[in-house]
Chain A
Amino acid sequence: MASWQTLWTWIFGLSVFLFFFVEVVVVFGGARDIGDMLRSLMAHAEEERGKESGEAKE
């Protein structure tokens, strides 16, 4: 039983570390990606509106 207890304790410690590590990396990287996504979507929305107004004129 002692070996199982030790194993789970180490695995639990590892899980907390990995969880926190992923959080820090994703929060900083994600902030940059949001900017890129919004720019791309705004450009696409402009393009679609341009197409619609072009079709309306024709």
Chain B
Amino acid sequence: MLCAVNGRDSLHFIWIDWVTVIAFLALTTGVAFLTRRLISDYDSFLLAGRSLKLFLGMATMGATELGLVTLMYFSEQGYRSGFSAFIIGVIALLGFLFIGKTGFIIKGLRDLRVRTIAEFFGMRYGRSTQILAAIITFAAGLMNMGLFLVLGAKFLLYMVGLPPEMLPYLMAGLLCLVLAYTVVGGMVSVVLTDYIQFLILFTSVVLTTYFSITHVGYDTVISVVEHEYGIGGFDPFLSEDLGWLFIVWLIFGIPFTGMWPPALSRALSTVDSETSRKLYGFIGLSFLGRALMPMMWGICALAYFAGDSVIPIPMIDGAPDTAAAMPAYLAQVLPAGMRGLVVAAALAALMSTFDSYLLCWSSILINDIILPLRPDLKDRQKIKLTRFAVVGCGLFVLLWGYLYSPPQTFFRFIAITGTMYSASVLLTTAMGLYWKKANTPGTLASLMIAGLLPLTTIFLDGSGILPPEYEWMVEDKVVGITTFVASFLFIIIGSLLTQKSHPPRALSRPMHTGGS
């Protein structure tokens, strides 16, 4: 699958790099095991007893949402689109400012004290809708997470300088590490390790940006992008890789920014709904840098490999491996010691995201798919089942990541799986919260169409199954926009047509209690 990393066979690491990485791993795993005695019931396992205050909530959300996969897909996008890719970060910032100002969706959900978003569907529409929403969320989430391990392992492979054959072993090793402390400690250990990881991660990102730019020089970066991509390297509307359709697609997602279930679970874990709103408003300020800094690493890698680089760009199946360009570049330009810190930060990024996502998808499986069918389960049984689900999800991710290659960039794959969830589950949640006429048939129709349409891109785009003249129909930008529009129309028309046969249900608070 992978070709040679570079001309050298030796590892890039020296003793100080290894010491940094090992110390970090010992610290985070130790914390996870020490917090075990704090788990007294299901709420304390899953939501840290709903005791997250503002700054800790921000630390855990910041660490969760800045994963190693984030660094990888943004850097690849920077490499492929130049400065035009920055529009993605700007749109994300606008989304967070909107949510922070209005509390759109998150405030309503926190006030209702639901554990997961699908639970809201149970309250508003009924059990069958809750299960369908949970299945779509679970499927979109697992596919989205499917690339985490492979991208994370690829980063470490090129940074440390391991042989490419080590990739599957590295993926399996990383999975075992994350599974160990997610299964043991639940959300409490996730939150505490997230705090440590936040500190290391944010510091490393700033320092790496400095080393990355100073090595090639900012003027060189500008001139290389101009030479490689022309005006399209700066103007996102004229970019060959992005274009106005792509921007419209991202704008449709603005009201749902940062509401991927693992991030949303942070909002639901806070002490009150006002804290949830503030959490989005403040941490959102860092989301511009979260996108732009790794994109800049990718652009610097482009400038580096376009010049007289010491090593050639990594190749995959005979073509440049644009996702691997950034770690291969950083391995060359970062000083000894700094490389260890960056790998520790990368592990932090991978673990903080991966553990939260594993816990989140598993809780959706148990809480929203199994529990509605088996409501008599006790807390201990639920925790045990969730732990089994964590392991099962991890194994799926290992296989999916190794076997599946996305047709476009990794970011665009993440975006289309995000649309599968946003246009179905989030759009119908918003309608359920703010439109009294939303009812079960309209919601079911909307969930079905928005849950199915993105699959055409995921499985058909670039597969060669469709004739070339019809390929545009399954392109991610077209499918993304169509999914949002169709989902909106389906819930409006479906609900209005069935008001008499299926009168809308009023919202009622959930039966379970626990936490504050």
Binding site for B on A (CB under 8 A): 1, 4-5, 8, 11-12, 14-16, 18-23, 25-34, 36-38, 40-42, 44-45, 47-49
Contacts and interface: CB of A to CB of B under 8 A. Distances in A.
A6 B146 CA distance: 37
B37 A22 contact: no
A49 B199 CA distance: 34
Contacts of A16: 206, 209, 289, 292-293
A48 B40 contact: yes
* Residues of B contacting A: mostly: helix
A2 B283 CA distance: 31
A6 B44 CA distance: 49
Contacts of A1: 226, 231, 234-235
B211 to A, nearest CB: 13
Interface in B52-111: 52-59, 62, 83, 86, 89-90
A15 B56 contact: no
A39 B332 CA distance: 46
Contacts of B222: 5
Given A11-B292, A41-B188, A45-B44, A19 B202 contact: yes
B54 A33 contact: yes
Contact of A19 (B41, B191, B205): B205
Given A15-B292, A15-B293, A16-B293, A37 B199 contact: no
Interface residues of B, number: 49
Interface string B424-468: 000000000000000000000000000000000000000000000
B305 interface: no
Q: Which residue, of B48, B53, B188, B283, has the highest number of chain A Cβ atoms within 10 A?
A: B53
Nearest to A12: B292
A23 B387 CA distance: 32
Contacts of A47: 40
Given A23-B286, A38-B38, A48-B41, A15 B89 contact: yes
Contacts of B41: 44, 48
Contact of A32 (B38, B49, B55): B55
Contacts of B53: 33, 36-37
Nearest to B39: A45
Contacts of A44: 40-41, 44, 49
Q: Which residue, of B59, B86, B282, B293, has the highest number of chain A Cβ atoms within 10 A?
A: B59
Given A5-B234, A27-B59, A30-B59, A45 B292 contact: no
Given A18-B285, A29-B56, 4 more contacts: A22-B285, A23-B286, A30-B55, A41-B40
A13 to B, nearest CB: 10
A52 to B, nearest CB: 9
Given A19-B288, A22-B286, A38-B38, A8 B234 contact: yes
A21 to B, nearest CB: 7
A1 B209 CA distance: 24
Contacts of A45: 37-40, 44
A5 B84 CA distance: 10
Q: Which residue, of A1, A22, A45, A49, has the highest number of chain B Cβ atoms within 10 A?
A: A22
10 contacts: A11-B292, A12-B296, A15-B288, A15-B292, A19-B290, A19-B293, A26-B58, A37-B52, A44-B44, A45-B37
